[in-house]
């Protein structure tokens, strides 16, 4: 019996704004091709794509905060499913409102919907709850975050980083005593000021109506924790969630041009790794991705974070 696979691909170029990027739409197209090769279907029940293209504006497929949250809830809602999420766009940092950064900078990582100026950014705390905590039983989730300040973008408890020599170190990123690396005073190149950021609390109310109607009749929507409890559970959830992020919390992630094509440097390096290694382990994929970025003169340091401890040397990527 084949495993059910679902994917959510988000590419935001912020077209026509002062924060425009150039490679995020192409990242999505490249990732769609890769996922097709890996056995992911592209029918509406199995794949949702959110792009800020003019011909999709005003439709359910535009990457507003509401649609992003609704699509994430859809992605992780079905038990026994292999889920894949790719985000290419701006990343920022917002004020930590629940205190889990108290001994650090007081900031949470965030992703930046196309309507962030009106509705706010989506913080790492919110992303963790909607992606990890709500991941349905017996399901797995693999995430690629190609954006700035993405090291702790989903606040997973175990974070691994490769140095220039390929050595892997484990960082302490449990919710209690979480520490951000570096200064994190510059939110993003070009600047997303604190006036424009928020916890995106208003996104929840109307987020899921369209995606609940995508033909997923009979699917089960479950909270990952009893009675919606979330606080202080990061280290005990034991959800099989893994994430490759484009850089550390205090770094930016490059919008690149490689082989004449605009793309995100992290997305390119990950896909190039998958092209060269048919069955990479987590450690070999992290090392090769770092090596490709170094060879191409990108200073960003990719990280791997997980919801459970893994034998990195002997565990193949769960895709």
Q: Which candidate in 25, 90, 128, 149 is catalytic?
A: 90
Specify the pairing of strand 107-111 against strand 122-123: antiparallel
SS3 244: strand
6-10, 76-80, 83-87, 124-128: segment of lowest average pLDDT: 124-128
In a domain, 52, yes or no: yes
Domains of the chain: total: 1
Structural domain contains residue 319 = no
Q: Is 313 contained in some domain?
A: no
147 given a catalytic annotation: no
Instruction: Give me the catalytic one of 83, 147, 148, 247.
Output: 148
CATH at 186: 3.40.50.12660
Task: Please check whether residue 317 lies inside any domain of the structure.
Answer: no
pTM of this prediction? 0.80
Asked if residues 109 and 151 have their Cβ atoms less than 8 Å apart, the reply is yes
Residue 316 within a domain: no
Q: How far apart are CA 238 and CA 257, in angstroms?
A: 38
Q: Per-residue pLDDT tens for 295-316?
A: 877 667 888 889 988 888 888 8
Across 23-40, b (16+ Cβ under 10 Å) vs e yields: bbbbbbebbbebbeeeeb
Note whether residue 315 is domain-resident. no
Residue closest to 118 by CA, chosen among 66, 53, 186:
66
Characterise 307 by phi-psi region: left (phi > 0), alpha (psi -120 to 50), beta (else): alpha
- Catalytic, 90? Answer yes
- Identify whether 132 is part of a domain: yes
Domain coverage including residue 17: 4-306
Mean pLDDT of 82-111: 77
């Amino acid at each position: 019996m084949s495993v059910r696979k679902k994917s959510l691909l988000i590419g935001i170029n912020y077209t026509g704004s002062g924060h425009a990027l150039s490679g995020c739409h192409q990242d999505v197209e490249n990732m769609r091709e890769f996922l097709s090769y890996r056995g992911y279907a592209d029918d509406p029940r199995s794949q949702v794509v959110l792009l800020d293209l003019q011909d999709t504006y005003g439709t359910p497929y535009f990457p507003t905060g509401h649609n992003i949250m609704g699509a994430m809830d859809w992605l992780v809602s079905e038990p026994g499913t292999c889920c894949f999420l790719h985000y290419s766009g701006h990343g920022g940092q917002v004020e930590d409102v629940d205190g889990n950064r108290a001994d650090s900078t007081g900031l949470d990582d965030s992703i930046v919907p196309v309507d962030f100026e009106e509705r706010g950014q989506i913080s790492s705390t919110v992303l963790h709850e909607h992606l990890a905590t709500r991941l349905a039983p017996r399901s797995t989730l693999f995430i690629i975050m190609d954006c700035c300040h993405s090291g702790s973008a989903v606040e997973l408890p175990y974070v691994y980083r490769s140095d220039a020599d390929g050595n892997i170190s484990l960082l302490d990123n449990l919710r209690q005593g979480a520490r951000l690396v570096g200064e994190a005073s510059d939110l993003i190149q070009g600047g997303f000021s604190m006036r424009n950021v928020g916890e995106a609390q208003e996104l929840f109310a109307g987020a899921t109506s369209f995606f609940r109607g995508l033909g997923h009749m009979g699917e089960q929507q479950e909270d990952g924790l009893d009675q919606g409890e979330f606080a202080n559970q990061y280290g005990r959830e034991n959800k099989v969630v893994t994430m490759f992020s484009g850089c550390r919390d205090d770094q930016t992630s490059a919008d690149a041009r490689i082989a004449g094509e605009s793309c995100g440097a992290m997305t390119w390096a990950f896909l190039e790794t998958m092209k060269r290694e048919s069955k990479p382990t987590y450690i070999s994929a992290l090392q090769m991705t770092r090596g490709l970025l170094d060879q191409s003169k990108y200073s960003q340091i990719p990280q791997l974070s997980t919801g459970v401890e893994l034998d990195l040397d002997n565990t193949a990527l769960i895709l």
